[in-house]
């Protein structure tokens, strides 16, 4: 397995593989790899001849008061996981290699970045869009994989790739969960034992919302209140947003027609947890 540290070596490697007719699958990550990443890598392994995983804690997507400095970094463990999964190359550039002195181009996807995580984390999605545009340009993948856990990010990256004609197709892989429903995230390591116990309440809230929709409820505001009510059963958990949205625009839905996504973010002390649940109403036959 190759460890690539510079942008030019990354671009050269991809060019060489493409010349040889090899298809490239790409899994962009910030490292601290877990079972959710493993699922993306396995999907890439199945679909493409060669797999590249990028490991880059992208400074431009963190706000000034966020966890950039303490974000888990464990390249040795990540390399071992990748080697075990048959990854062909890890692209782990330094921040200096990705953002050279004088760097000034910022990519923004303003409408999809407006609500939810965009409100809670100003500039976060500009950082994500900019780095994803750079990564896709460097890696030139045939297919890249993103996790559904970050639903808004996946929607925004889809729009970005379409608008800028970025290379390859994009696949979104279903969220991988712990047995009690907690969505896997590199940030779950921040949870204390007590917080970890309370954390699955977000998943239960989304499940309650989805069950109400399947039971015939169509009013967005009602489902939103129901989810908030479930979250409040855990007193240590603060609801940030619990929303019923159109899955393409991410705008709140007053009335659900056919497709919706339930989006949620909660706080546990200083830790924020995100999750979501897409729901489709099947027409009665």
Alpha-carbon span 192 to 270, nearest angstrom: 11
Alpha-carbon span 256 to 55, nearest angstrom: 38
* Of 148 and 195, CB closest to ligand PAF: 148
Alpha-carbon span 154 to 253, nearest angstrom: 19
* Of 170 and 256, CB closest to ligand PAF: 170
CA distances in angstroms from 93 to 4, 57, 90, 135, 200, listed in the order given: 7, 9, 9, 10, 34
Query: Catalytic residue among 34, 37, 173, 229, which?
Result: 37
* Of 130 and 224, CB closest to ligand PAF: 130
- Please say if 259 is a catalytic residue: no
**Distance in Å, CB of 236 to ligand PAF, minimum:** 26
Q: Which residues bind ligand PAF (CB under 6 A)?
A: 28-30, 58, 61, 128, 131-132, 150, 153
130 closest CA partner among 113, 107, 154, 162 = 107
At 240, give phi and psi (nearest 5°): -105, -60
* Of 58 and 224, CB closest to ligand PAF: 58
Beta strands in the chain (DSSP E): 2-4, 24-29, 50-55, 89-91, 143-147, 169-173, 238-245, 259-268, 271-280
Q: 54 pairs with which residues across the strands?
A: 28, 91
Catalytic residue set:
37
């Amino acid at each position: 397995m190759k460890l690539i540290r510079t942008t030019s070596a990354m671009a050269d490697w991809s060019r060489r593989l493409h010349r040889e007719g090899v298809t490239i699958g790409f899994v962009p990550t910030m490292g601290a790899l877990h079972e959710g990443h493993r699922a993306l890598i396995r999907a890439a392994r199945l679909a493409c001849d060669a797999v590249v995983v990028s490991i880059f804690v992208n400074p431009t997507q963190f706000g000034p008061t966020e966890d950039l400095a303490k974000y888990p970094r464990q390249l040795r463990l990540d390399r071992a996981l990748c080697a075990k999964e048959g990854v062909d190359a890890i692209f782990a550039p330094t921040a200096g290699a990705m953002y050279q002195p004088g760097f000034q181009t910022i990519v923004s996807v303003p409408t999809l970045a407006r609500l939810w995580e965009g409100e809670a984390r100003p500039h976060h999605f500009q950082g994500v869009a900019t780095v994803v545009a750079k990564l896709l340009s460097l890696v030139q993948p045939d297919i890249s994989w993103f996790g559904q856990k970050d639903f808004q990010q996946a929607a925004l990256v889809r729009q970005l790739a379409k608008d800028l004609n970025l290379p390859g197709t994009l696949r979104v892989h279903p969220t991988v969960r712990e047995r009690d429903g907690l969505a896997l995230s590199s940030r779950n390591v921040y949870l204390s034992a007590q917080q970890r116990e309370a954390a699955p309440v977000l998943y239960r809230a989304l499940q309650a919302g989805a069950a109400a929709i399947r039971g015939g409820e169509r009013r967005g505001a009602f489902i939103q209140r129901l989810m908030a009510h479930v979250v409040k059963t855990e007193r240590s958990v603060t609801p940030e947003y619990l929303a019923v949205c159109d899955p393409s625009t991410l705008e709140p839905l007053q009335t659900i027609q056919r497709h919706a996504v339930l989006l949620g973010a909660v706080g546990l002390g200083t830790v924020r947890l995100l999750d979501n649940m897409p729901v489709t109403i099947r027409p009665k036959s």
